[in-house]
Amino acid sequence: MMSLGLISDFVLVALLAVTLFYVMRLLRRLGELQKDRESFQKLIQDFSAATQQADRSLADLRAGGDGIGRELGERIGRGQSVVAELQRSSEDIKMLIVRAESAADRLEAQLGASRQMPAVAPTASSAPRAGGESEHKPAQDPQTQALLSALGRIR
């Protein structure tokens, strides 16, 4: 039979073979882990670069938004001043319309009164002129004169 030393050597060789097998397997897994680590580091670097780009883009958007906000504020201010000017002009036009209506009412009243006056024999002072108009005109305010002038031009 074999000696105890030889059996223990075979057992030791078998154990060393199993250990060598596990060492090789462990080395292969460590190599894969190293590759995965490098991929993970590259992924972290890409993520960091993307984050920095996003920060720069946000800063650009904020700057652009602030500029557009200021420009929009200026345009709103100009629009409000134009609206105020239009309101003042509208009030002026309303006042002019009221005055024109008042002058038209006075003109109608004067025309109605002149039509109702009996025909008087022409005298030297009220003799018709060559143009067919009477020299005597009732005293009129400037608004009425302007309105009569405008009506005369329309005809």
pLDDT for 131 equals: 46
Query: Please, what's the b/e burial string for 102-113 (b: 16 or more CB within 10 A of its CB; e: otherwise)?
Result: ebeeebeeeeee
Mean pLDDT by 10 residues, the chain (155 residues): 84 96 95 90 94 94 90 92 89 86 86 70 47 51 79 72
pTM, to two decimals: 0.38
pLDDT for 138 equals: 55
Q: How many CB atoms lie within 10 A of CB 146?
A: 13
Around 103, how many Cα atoms within 13 Å sit in the side-chain half-sphere? 18
pLDDT for 124 equals: 46
Residue of 92, 107, 94, 89 lying closest to 150 (CA atoms): 107
